[in-house]
Each structure stands twice: as C-alpha cells, then as structure tokens.
Amino acid sequence: MSDLTKELKEKLFLKRKNGLLTASEEEITKANDYCEGYKSFLNSAKTEREAVKTAVALAEKNGFTPFDRSKSYKSGDKIYFNNRGKTVAFAVIGEEPCESGINITAAHIDSPRLDLKPNPLYEEIELGLFKTHYYGGIKKYQWPTTPLSLHGVFALKDGSVIDVNIGEDENDPKFVVNDLLPHLASEQSKRTLAEGIKGEELNVLIGSRPFKDDEGSELVKLNILKILNEKYGITETDFLSAELEMVPAFKSCDIGFDRSMIGSYGQDDRVCAYPALTAIMNVKNPKKTALAILADKEEIGSCGNTGLESDFLAHIIGDLTKMQGGDTSVAIRNSACLSADVNAGLDPTFSDVHERKNASMLNYGVVVTKYTGARGKSGTSDASAEYVAKIRDLLDKNGIIWQTGELGKVDIGGGGTVAVYIANMGIDVVDLGVPVLSMHAPFETTAKFDVYMCYRAMYTFMQG
C-alpha cells in the first residue's frame, strides 16, 4: 500500500475501533470505578418503584427538592417531579429561560418480569403457588428454575401502602417457577421455543407446609395467608389492589476474567437510567434548563399515566415554563432530547441476526441509534440528519467514544423506545445508549466502558 493510499484511507474512511484500545488508562479506570455505583444501583432498584425511591434519595442528598407551584425558582435550582412513585423527573434550572429550550434525557426504569395476577394465590397437590402474568417481551423459557424475589406494594382501602421486598436479603427465602425434568419432557421438547414454557405455566412455588389441622382443605394456602397476615396485616382480598412483581433474586456482578463487563437483571434500561440520574446530579448552573426523566411502562409501550406516551412530560415543561411567565409550546419546540435506551450488542454466537456494518459492539462506546422500528422503519422516530450531526459534534468535541447501531437486520425483527413519543411532542430526539447482550433475559450483560461513555454523553448534553 502506497503512502498516498494510506493517507487517503486515513482521511476518508469511517473508523471503528474498540474504545479500550483508544481510551487512556485513566479513562478506563474511571469507567471501572463509575460502574461500582451502577452495580449497587442495580441491586437496590429492581423495579420502577424502587428505582424512583433510590433516585429520589440520591437527589435529596444532592439538594433537589420536590417542585412547588407556589415557589419561583432561579438559575441553578434543583427540583424534582415524582409521578405516582413510578416515574420521576429531575431538573436543574438554566440561566436562559425555558422558552429557549430544555435539554432532556429520558430513560426507563421498568424491566421485563413476572407480575402477580390480581387473584394469584392457589393451592394444588398440597403446594402453594402464585399465578403470574408476564410484563414486557420475555422469552418465557428463560424464567423457570431461577431464584426469584418478590417486590411491590399492597395498597389498602384506608389509603395506606405496604411495601413488599422478599428474597433480596441473603437470609430471605426465595421463590421459583419449576420446569419439567428432561426424563419426562419428550412431549414438551416437541414444542417450539416460544411455547417451551407457556404463559399459564409460569406459576411460582411459594410454600408447601400445611396449617396443622386434622381436616380441612387448602391448608398450605391457609398457612401462607397466615404468614402474610402476621407480616403485613393483609388478607387474600388485598391482592386485588396490589402491584407485586417477581424478579430474579441474584445480585449484579462483574463478568469475565478481566472484569470488563457487568451481569445483572434489569440493565435494560437501568444501564441508561443510572447514567442519566448521576449526570443530572452533577449538572451545575447549566445555560439551558436540564431535565432527566426516568419513566415507567416503556416495556409495554409507554402507555398509561406513568408512561411517556402520557402528557406527564408536557405538564412538567409547562410547570417550569409558566413559572417564568413563558409559553409552553415555545419551550417544547426549542427543546432537544437524548432518548437513553439500549441497543442489541453483537453476540458472536448469534451474529447472523445483525448486519455487521451497522451493529453495535461491546466496548465501542455509547451507541447512537438514528431509528428503531420494524420492517420499513415502521413505528419509529427517525432522527433528522441535522440533529444527529449536532450530537456527533457534541460527542466528538468532548472526546466521548461512540458508535452507531441498528437493531438487527432489516427483515429480522425490530423494536422501539420512548423516542417516538418525545418526537411526537415536536422535540428533536435521537436514541443513545448502551449495547446489551441477552437483552430482556433475567441476566443481561453490558461492558463497563460503554456505561461510562453513556454517563459522559448524558452529562455533556445536559450541562450544555
């Protein structure tokens, strides 16, 4: 190869390189240190409610206070909006009025899991079980024979709300969905993978000891209710107004001899929620108002009053803008957003579902996804070239290592994020997040370096 060829290639070709080869040792150490906090967050925030609690506690420590309509806030003030304990937004007021636009980052804090049905408890063959209804896109066969913990609330008629968290402490009991032994699974083995375990087979084993009596039926169920009544003061009817979620009971951990990766439940999308949260904590006196929103219900289509399809975000922008005597629609029109969500990392075992030139790879940095959707980009917000150019410039100028990604080959499948709902408001938005392996599985894998680059992108964007 002649020098000219080399020179031209260097100048003209798109360069893709592993971030761990281009970043400084110092930066890599920072990334590893940063992820220690991320791993703790994963363990204390396994559900949307727990994520909101953990985030609010951190925010209050950092001087954020709940938004109060009667107050007027000045540049640099830090406030938060808690929507029903399941979605939360944090804002740092900018020097410029909200009408000049707000820099928004949006991530989600719900993850695929097994919800309990409204009437979940039953006894069969002298074993106690819960009926579940899965939440979000899961491969059902992945959920049996893995230890589960129970999280959520009982809401009682007197207005009180009782928190439930069983299975996270080392000494806590855990729960499990059982599967058929291979010796007797010849019929089951003929099922397709999608039907390997069916929705109505995701029944959770929760007890086997009968209440001691010489006669009577459902004594195991009775004994379980007795335990729950003693612990929480509830009866079977109270399950009707509860939100109880079964999630994997294991903790986050390092993956690999080199400890370069993280394994955990719920990384989609806590792997972006934690960077958005820690970034807004560190934003100081931004030019434009900075807003980080951690939303519920993304995994089932962002619907409902805690999902981003609702007007919740528009109302927040309204609150902030009207407080300054401004016009909400002007503020919305001038705002910009990074929709912080994961992309599918290239897995050597399943690489044929990806088109390699446009697939994201572990350790190649934060991934910018111009569009998601399915088939002919159906149901996506396709970010404008102009907006992607702005984000490119911001990332490059600040030495943030990033890559581009598409969610798999064109005809293979597809997906979506909250970007489309934010775009529908009239806001410029692009997806930016972390590549994940085994997305939506009970145990997902990410690379530490990418998590840190995601943090740096969120921070740089909101600090302005």
Q: Which stretch binds Mn ion (CB under 5 A): 60-68, 251-259, 336-344, 368-376?
A: 336-344
Q: Which stretch binds Mn ion (CB under 5 A): 180-188, 199-207, 223-231, 333-341?
A: 333-341
d(Cα 150, Cα 205) in Å, to the nearest integer? 12
Q: Residue 205: helix, strand or coil by DSSP?
A: strand
Q: Does position 296 bind Mn ion by CB under 5 A?
A: no
CB 439 to Mn ion: min, Å: 6
CB 390 to Mn ion: min, Å: 23
CB 415 to Mn ion: min, Å: 7
Q: Which is nearer to Mn ion, 321 or 445 (CB)?
A: 445
Q: 344 with 434: CB under 8 angstroms?
A: no
d(Cα 40, Cα 168) in Å, to the nearest integer? 13
Q: Which is nearer to Mn ion, 269 or 296 (CB)?
A: 269
CA angle, corner 408, sides to 404 and 409, nearest 5? 110
Which residue, 115, 168, 113, is CA-closest to 143?
Answer: 113
What's the Cα-to-Cα distance from 50 to each of 164, 183, 188, 324, 382, rounded to whole Å?
Answer: 11, 41, 37, 33, 32
The interface mask with Mn ion, positions 227-266, x = CB under 5 A, is ----------------------------------------
Q: Which is nearer to Mn ion, 269 or 406 (CB)?
A: 269
Query: What does DSSP say about strands 113-124 and 127-135: parallel, antiparallel, or unpaired?
Result: antiparallel
CB 436 to Mn ion: min, Å: 9
Q: Which is nearer to Mn ion, 242 or 359 (CB)?
A: 359
CB 207 to Mn ion: min, Å: 32
User: What part of residues 66-85 is at the interface with Mn ion (CB under 5 A)?
Assistant: none
**Using CA atoms in the order 80, 84, 88, 91, what is the torsion angle rounded to 10 degrees?**
-20
CB 185 to Mn ion: min, Å: 30
Q: Which is nearer to Mn ion, 123 or 268 (CB)?
A: 268
Q: Which is nearer to Mn ion, 240 or 412 (CB)?
A: 412
CB 433 to Mn ion: min, Å: 8
Total site size for Mn ion, rule CB under 5 A = 3
CB 340 to Mn ion: min, Å: 9
Q: Which is nearer to Mn ion, 268 or 406 (CB)?
A: 268
Q: Which is nearer to Mn ion, 48 or 269 (CB)?
A: 269
The H-or-E segment that residue 81 falls in is strand 78-83
113-116 LR contacts (CB < 8 Å, sep 24+): 113/47, 113/138, 113/245, 113/246, 113/247, 114/143, 114/148, 114/177, 114/202, 114/204, 114/245, 114/246, 114/247, 115/243, 115/244, 115/245, 115/246, 116/152, 116/239, 116/242, 116/244, 116/245, 116/246
Show Cβ contacts of residue 269 under 8 Å, excluding neighbours closer than 6 positions.
Answer: 107, 108, 109, 111, 298, 340, 341, 342, 433
What's the Cα-to-Cα distance from 354 to each of 133, 339, 414, 420, 450, rounded to whole Å?
Answer: 31, 22, 11, 23, 19
The interface mask with Mn ion, positions 350-379, x = CB under 5 A, is ------------------------------
CB 275 to Mn ion: min, Å: 13
Q: Which is nearer to Mn ion, 210 or 263 (CB)?
A: 263
Q: Does position 269 bind Mn ion by CB under 5 A?
A: yes
Q: Site for Mn ion (CB under 5 A): which residue of 201, 341, 444, 450?
A: 341
The H-or-E segment that residue 222 falls in is helix 219-232
Q: Which backbone phi and psi does 394 adopt, to 5 degrees?
A: -60, -45
Q: 269 with 298: CB under 8 angstroms?
A: yes
CB 383 to Mn ion: min, Å: 17
Q: Which is nearer to Mn ion, 242 or 454 (CB)?
A: 454
3-class SS string, 124-178: ECCEEEEEEEEECCCCHHHCCCCCEEEEEEEECCCCCEEEEEECCCCCCCCEEEC
Q: Which is nearer to Mn ion, 132 or 438 (CB)?
A: 438
CB 253 to Mn ion: min, Å: 21
Select the residue whose beta carbon is closest to Mn ion and give its number.
269
Q: Which is nearer to Mn ion, 369 or 463 (CB)?
A: 369
Which residue, 364, 346, 356, is CA-closest to 445?
Answer: 346
Q: 341 with 298: CB under 8 angstroms?
A: yes
The interface mask with Mn ion, positions 85-104, x = CB under 5 A, is --------------------
Q: Does position 48 bind Mn ion by CB under 5 A?
A: no
Q: Which stretch binds Mn ion (CB under 5 A): 76-84, 159-167, 267-275, 351-359?
A: 267-275
Q: Site for Mn ion (CB under 5 A): which residue of 268, 296, 309, 428?
A: 268
Residues that bind Mn ion (CB under 5 A): 268-269, 341
